[in-house]
Chain A
C-alpha cells in the first residue's frame, strides 16, 4: 500500500500537472476502501464475548431503535392537548380539506405535502367540512390528533435517518450518537413536527435526501452494481419527494447537483475510463437525478388534478378551458356561445399564470392618476366588462337584435361596476416603463378615441369562422387603435397601492405569439342569446401543469415584505443562527395551551460556532499544506471533503437564499439549514476527538450529550404545550426576545 503510494508519488513529482494528478487520484480510490475494510476487521477481531462487547456488536440495531422510540415519544406525547387550530394549521389543514372535498384550490407550494395532509384527514375519517379558521376549536367529529400524529411521524422519522447519515459519513459511534441526539433533542424540530404543517415532511425529505446522497457516495467504488443503483434512484425519488412538498427542496437538490458535477468532472479527467463507461455514468445520473425527480414532481401534480375535480376557490388561477372542465363551475355553463354587443363578460389572460382583466375605483398614484386596471385571480364583480360599439358607430341599443363581434372590429370595453372605458394613453406604465399605462376613464358619454380597441383573433379552438368571437375558445388580442399597442398582462406585480395585483400595460411590440397579449372570454351572459355549451374541450395536462407552476412562481414573488403591514411573527435571517427570537404559534391567553417555536440553545449556538470553527480548520490546513506539512492522509482529506465540506455547502445553500430573498421570512425557514449545521458540528467533534484518549472522549461527549438532553428537558414545555398562566414559564425567558412569557 505504502509502496504503491510512493510509486505514484514518485511518478508525479516531476510532472505534477493536471493530468498526472488525476491519474493518481483514481488509483488511490481502491486503497482507501481497503484501509477502511481492514479497519473494520481489526475492530471485529478485538471483540471479546463480554456483555459490553455484545452491546457494542448489536449497537447498529438497538441504537436506532431506541432513538426512534424516543423520537416517537417526544413527538407524540400529549399531541392532542391543544384542541384549537394552531398557527399555519389554518392553511394546511384547509388545503387538506379541499382535497377531501375535491375542490380546486390554489397555493404557492407544490401539492405533495398537502396531499399527504389530505390523506391523513381521509384516514382519520374526516369529511373536509371544517374551515380551519385560526384559533377555532376543532369539532368533535374531527380526529385532529390523528392528523397531527401523521405529521409527527415524519418528524420522528428524521431521528433514525440522522443516525444512519452520520454513520454513512464515517463518524465514530459517539459522534453519531451526538448528531442523533442533537436532532432528537432539538426543541424547534419537536415543536414544528407536532402540528398539521408541511415542515415536518420537508425536514424529513431533506434529511432523507442527505442520507441517500451519503449512501450513494459510499457506493462510489461499486459503480453500476445493484446497491449503487438502489441509492442513486433512492436519491432521485427523495429529491422528487422533497421538491414536491416545498420548493425549498431545490436547495438540497442543488447540493446533490454540486456533488454530481464534481464527481463527473473527476471521472471526466480519468483518461483511462472508456468513453462508454463515462457516458453510462453521465446517463445514469441524468436519469436518476433529473428525470426521476421530475417524474415524481409531475406525478404529484397529476394526482392533484385527478383529485380536485370540483370547482373551488383557486379556479381563477387556471385557464378558462381547465375551469370549464371542473364540476360545478360557472365557466362555460349555459353561456351563450358567441359574443355580441351588450354581452357582459369576464376576460381572461391566456399567458401562463394569467388572471382576469380587472378594474377598481382606486386610482394610479402616479402617471395619469386615473382608475387602475389590473389582472386579478379572484372572481368578483369588478372583473365584469361590457362589450360596446365604438363611438363612431351607432350606439348600443338593448332593444335591437344582437350584433355579433367579428375579427378586426373596433370596440369599447366598459367596466361594469364603475361604468368607465378601458383606456390607454401616452403615459408610461407604472412598473414596465417601456409600455403604456392602461386605465379606466370616462363613462358612456365622456371619452375619446383612446377608448377604442381592435379585436384581432389569433386562433379559435372550435371553429374556423372568424366572423364571431366565441366564449372560451377564441384567443384574441386587443389592439389600441390610436397608439397601435397591444393589451398585455405580463405577470409583473404592482406594489401595495395596486394590492399586489398584476400590472396591465399596452405594449408597442407586436409579437403575435406572446401569450400574455392573448385573451379569451371566460364568463359570458347575454339574455338575448341562447345558452350553449362551449366548454366541451379538454385542456392538456402539460399545459395545466406549466400554467399552475408559473402561477405559483408569480404569486410567490408577490410575498415580499410589506412595510405597510406590521408582522411581529416575521424575523430576519441574521436572527436565526444566534437564536435571537422565537415565534408564538398561538395567542398568549392563559386559558389556552401555548406553543413557542424556539430551538435548543446549545444546538443553535454550538452549530453556528461550529461553522466558524470549520472555516478556521480549512484555512489552517490549507496554509499548512502550502507550507509543506503532510499531516493529512487521503482518508483525512476525503473525510473533511465529504463529511465536513458538503454539509457546510448544504448549510449555505439552505441559508443564503433567505438572506438575499426579499420576502417575508420566519424562524422555521432556518430548520433545514440547521440540520446541515448539526452535521458539520458532528463532523468537527468527531474530527477533534477521534484520536484522543478514551477518557477525554468520554468527558467531552458526556458533557455535550448531557447538556443537549438537559436543555431539551428544560425547554420541553414550549414543545409539549404550556398550560396555565404564562408567568409560570418565565424561568425559560433568558432574553427579552424569547417571548415565551409576558413576565
Chain B
C-alpha cells in the first residue's frame, strides 16, 4: 500500500496537511516567540539614541517626582499598611508571625526599617492610627515602594526601547504608567504591590534582553540575563503568589523558543539533541531551579530572623513552636497528674471554667425551665472558684498517675465540693445545647455517675499522649451524650452575674470547643514538678519547617473567601468600574480612594480589543489567501506585541477561576502589560506606509504586499524616511488626555486637598463609591 511505504509518507512537513494542523497550532505561537527577533541583533548604535536617553532621564525624574510628592501625607495608617507595617515590626522584634504571602516583600520593608534604626515597637493596629504620635519612621517605609514604583516606569520605558519601538511608542507606554493614579496610589504606601509589579516588569525586560542574545548562546552575557530573569521571577513569586503568572508568561515564551530550537530546519542550522538538551537544561536551571532556590532562601531568612514566639505560633504545630525561644509552652508546660487542682481556660474567649453556689433559676425569661442545679459559668478573672480537681474514674486516691489523652475523668469543684455534670436539660440560652451544672459527691458516684464522666480529647493528639498544661489544647467531651463543653461571649442575665454561659455543644468539630489547662494551683511555685531543666530550643530541618508553613499558607489563602465591602470582580477591572476606599479623614474631608486613571485605563483596554480585532482580521484574511501585512509588521505584531498581550492575558484571566476575594490592585500587573500593547499599537497604527494603515483600518482589503525589508534594525532605521508625525500626534493626544484624567483624580490619590461635595460628585464617574459625597 502506497500510504504505508516510506516514500508515500515522506512529505515535506510544511506542505502536507499532516503537518498543517500542527503547524497551524504552532504558527501563531512560533511567531509569538520570534518576539523580539525582528529587533534582534541591534548594532550598538552609539550616540544614535541620544533622544531616547534624554527622554528616559526625564521620565524617570518625573516618575520619582510623582511617587514621592507629598509622601508624608497622610501621617496615619492607611488601609493594608495595617498588615504590612505590622509584619515589618514583627521582623524587627523577631517575633514569629503568620501571613499568607511569602516573605520577600515583607523582608524588604523590615530591611528598610532596620536601615533607619526603627525598633518595631508600633503594631499598626488600626487604620487611622497616628504615625507621628507613635514615632514611626513611616516615610522611610513608604519610600521603598515609591522607589520601586518610580523605577517601574523606567523599566516599562526600557522594555519598549529594548524591543525596538519608536520613541512615541515608548513614551506612550511609559507615560500611561507614569500618569496612572492606581500605580501611584499603590506604590506610595506600605504595600507589597510595588515590589510585585516592579519584579514582574523586570522579568519581562530581562527576558527580552536575554532573548536578544540568542545568537550568542551560553555567552557570559547570555547567562547573566538568563539568571537575572530567573531572579526577577523569583522576587515576583516570593512577594505574592500571583507572581506565578509571570512564570506562565515567560514560560510560554520559553516553550515556544525551545520549540523553534528543536526545529530541524531552523534558520541557523539544526541543533543536535545534546546541544538542545543543553539549552533546555540551562533554561530549566535558570528559570525554575534557581528561582526556587531563591524562593527557599527567603524562607530561610524568614525563619532565622523570627526566632521568638509570637502571634503566629498558633498556626503551627507544637513541634514547630518548640523551635521558637521565649515560648510559654516550652517554659511552663507541666504534665498533669490525677488529683491535681487545675484551672481550665477557653481558648477563644479566654475565660476560665467557673462555678459558684448560686443556682440556675427555675424559669428563664422565655418560659423554659432549668434543672435548678448549681451554675457553671465562664469567668475571665482569677478566682478560687476556678479551681477544679481532676479525678480518675475509679477514685483510688493513687497519686502520681499521669492523665492521658482519651482518659475519662471527673472534675471536682474545690470550693463547693461538687462534681461537674452535664445532662439532657436545655442550657439557659440554647435550647439545642445541654446544660452544665454540678452535683454532690454522693450523687456523682451514685446514680448520676455516668453523667459526670468526661473525656479529655487532645487536639491532634496521639493515643496515650500525656495531658499537659498550656500546650495540650483539648476538647472536653461529655461521655454519655458526646457533647463538647463550649462557651460564647453573650453574658448571662443578672442571675448569672453577667458571666458567660457554659453549655454542651452537639457539634464537636468547631475549634471554638477548644480549652487548655492554664495552671496547676495545687503545686507550690517551687515544687519540683515545676522545675524544668534548662531545655534548649529545639531545631527542625529547614525543609520540614518550610513545608509545614507552606501548607498552612496555602490552606489559609483558600480560606480568604469572606466578602469585603470594596472587593471587586475581575470583569470590572479593565473598565475600572470600582475602586477601593483606602483612608478617610472627616475633619478635612480628605480621602484616599484607590482608583486608576480612568482615561488611561479605558484607552489601554480599548487598544487591547483593537489588537485582538486586528489579529482576528489578519487571520481571517490570511485564511482567504489575502496577505495584507508585510513580513516585518506581522512579525512584530505577533511576536513582540503578542508577547505583551500574552503577559496581559496570563496576568488577568487566571483571576476568573480564583475563589478568594479580589481587589482592583490585582489588575496592576495586567494593566502594565496593557500599556505596553498600547504603545506598540500606537506605532503600528499611526506609522508605516499606506498599506499598513489600510489594514489597520479596513481589516484587509488590499492584496498588495508591502515593501520587502528583511533587515533587522532599530526603530530609527525601521522608520527611516517615514513620517513619524502620526505617532507623535497620537502620543501627544493620548498623553494629554491621560494627563487630564490623572490631574483630575489626584486629590483622591494623594489624599489632599479635601474636596467639597460638588467636587466629590464630579469625580463620581461610573458611580465610584467615594466618601463625603453628601
12 sample A-B contacts, Cβ–Cβ < 8 Å, listed by A number: A12-B15, A13-B12, A13-B14, A19-B627, A21-B23, A22-B623, A24-B17, A271-B625, A625-B13, A628-B270, A633-B4, A633-B8
Q: Tell whether A634 pairs with B18 under 8 Å between CB atoms, given A627-B262, A628-B13.
A: yes
B1-16 contact mask (Cβ, 8 Å, vs A): 1 or 0: 1111001111111111
For chains A and B in complex, what number of residue pairs have CB atoms within 8 angstroms?
112
In the assembly, what is the distance between CA of A622 and CA of B19, in Å? 10
In the complex, what's the smallest C-beta–C-beta distance from B336 to chain A, in angstroms?
35
A11 touches B262 (CB 8 A): no
Candidates B16, B21, B624, B627; contact of A268 at CB < 8 Å: B624
- Residues on A with C-beta less than 8 A from B725 are none
In the assembly, what is the distance between CA of A209 and CA of B10, in Å? 36
A622-654 contact mask (Cβ, 8 Å, vs B): 1 or 0: 110111101111111100010000000000000
A510-526 contact mask (Cβ, 8 Å, vs B): 1 or 0: 00000000000000000
- Residues on A with C-beta less than 8 A from B10 are 630
In the complex, A9 has a CB within 8 A of chain B: yes
- Residues on B with C-beta less than 8 A from A630 are 9-11, 13
In the assembly, what is the distance between CA of A19 and CA of B12, in Å? 15
A271 touches B624 (CB 8 A): yes
B623 touches A18 (CB 8 A): yes
B1 touches A35 (CB 8 A): yes
Mostly, the A contact residues are helix
Question: Which of A10, A20, A625 has the most chain B CB within a 10 Å cutoff?
Answer: A625
A35 touches B20 (CB 8 A): no
Give B1-56 interface residues, CB cut-off 8 Å to A. Answer: 1-4, 7-24, 27
In the complex, A400 has a CB within 8 A of chain B: no
For chain B, which range describes its interface: under 10, 10 to 19, 20 to 34, or 35 or more residues? 35 or more
Candidates A21, A271, A627; contact of B15 at CB < 8 Å: A21
A268 touches B623 (CB 8 A): yes
In the complex, B293 has a CB within 8 A of chain A: no
Residue on A nearest B9 in the bound complex, by CB: A633
The 8 residue pairs across chains A and B that have the minimum distance between CB atoms: A12-B15, A628-B264, A25-B17, A16-B14, A637-B18, A9-B12, A633-B9, A271-B625
For chain A, which range describes its interface: under 10, 10 to 19, 20 to 34, or 35 or more residues? 35 or more
A634 touches B623 (CB 8 A): no
B17 touches A35 (CB 8 A): no
Q: Tell whether A35 pairs with B2 under 8 Å between CB atoms, given A2-B8, A265-B623, A633-B8.
A: yes
In the complex, B274 has a CB within 8 A of chain A: no
In the complex, B523 has a CB within 8 A of chain A: no
- Residues on A with C-beta less than 8 A from B23 are 21
In the assembly, what is the distance between CA of A635 and CA of B625, in Å? 26
B20 touches A21 (CB 8 A): yes
In the complex, what's the smallest C-beta–C-beta distance from B268 to chain A, in angstroms?
15
Q: Told that A5-B8, A21-B19, A21-B23 touch, could you supply 15 new A-B pairs with CB distance under 8 A?
A: A2-B2, A9-B11, A9-B15, A9-B16, A16-B15, A17-B627, A21-B15, A21-B24, A24-B20, A625-B22, A626-B259, A627-B262, A630-B11, A641-B21, A691-B4
Question: Which of B13, B16, B22, B622 has the most chain A CB within a 10 Å cutoff?
Answer: B16
Report which A residues bind B (CB closer than 8 A): 1-2, 5, 8-13, 16-22, 24-25, 28-29, 35, 38-39, 42, 265, 268-269, 271, 428, 433, 622-623, 625-628, 630-637, 641, 660, 691
Give B233-265 interface residues, CB cut-off 8 Å to A. Answer: 259, 262-265
In the assembly, what is the distance between CA of A265 and CA of B8, in Å? 27
- Residues on B with C-beta less than 8 A from A433 are 563, 565
In the complex, what's the smallest C-beta–C-beta distance from B16 to chain A, in angstroms?
6
B18 touches A633 (CB 8 A): yes
In the complex, B116 has a CB within 8 A of chain A: no
In the complex, what's the smallest C-beta–C-beta distance from B255 to chain A, in angstroms?
12
- Residues on A with C-beta less than 8 A from B264 are 626-628
In the complex, what's the smallest C-beta–C-beta distance from A686 to chain B, in angstroms?
15
In the assembly, what is the distance between CA of A18 and CA of B4, in Å? 27
B1 touches A39 (CB 8 A): yes
In the assembly, what is the distance between CA of A628 and CA of B270, in Å? 10
B8 touches A18 (CB 8 A): no
B9 touches A632 (CB 8 A): yes
B557-586 contact mask (Cβ, 8 Å, vs A): 1 or 0: 000000101000000000000000000000
- Residues on A with C-beta less than 8 A from B525 are none
In the assembly, what is the distance between CA of A13 and CA of B622, in Å? 18
In the complex, B720 has a CB within 8 A of chain A: no
- Residues on A with C-beta less than 8 A from B270 are 628
In the complex, what's the smallest C-beta–C-beta distance from B49 to chain A, in angstroms?
34
In the assembly, what is the distance between CA of A271 and CA of B19, in Å? 19
In the complex, B657 has a CB within 8 A of chain A: yes
In the assembly, what is the distance between CA of A2 and CA of B265, in Å? 23
In the assembly, what is the distance between CA of A637 and CA of B623, in Å? 22
A623 touches B15 (CB 8 A): no
Q: Tell whether A8 pairs with B14 under 8 Å between CB atoms, given A2-B2, A626-B263, A628-B265.
A: no
Residue on A nearest B259 in the bound complex, by CB: A626
Question: Which of A21, A623, A626, A632 has the most chain B CB within a 10 Å cutoff?
Answer: A626
Q: Tell whether A1 pairs with B2 under 8 Å between CB atoms, given A19-B622, A628-B265.
A: yes
- Residues on A with C-beta less than 8 A from B625 are 19, 269, 271
In the assembly, what is the distance between CA of A628 and CA of B12, in Å? 9
In the complex, what's the smallest C-beta–C-beta distance from B107 to chain A, in angstroms?
36
- Residues on A with C-beta less than 8 A from B9 are 630-633, 636
- Residues on A with C-beta less than 8 A from B565 are 428, 433
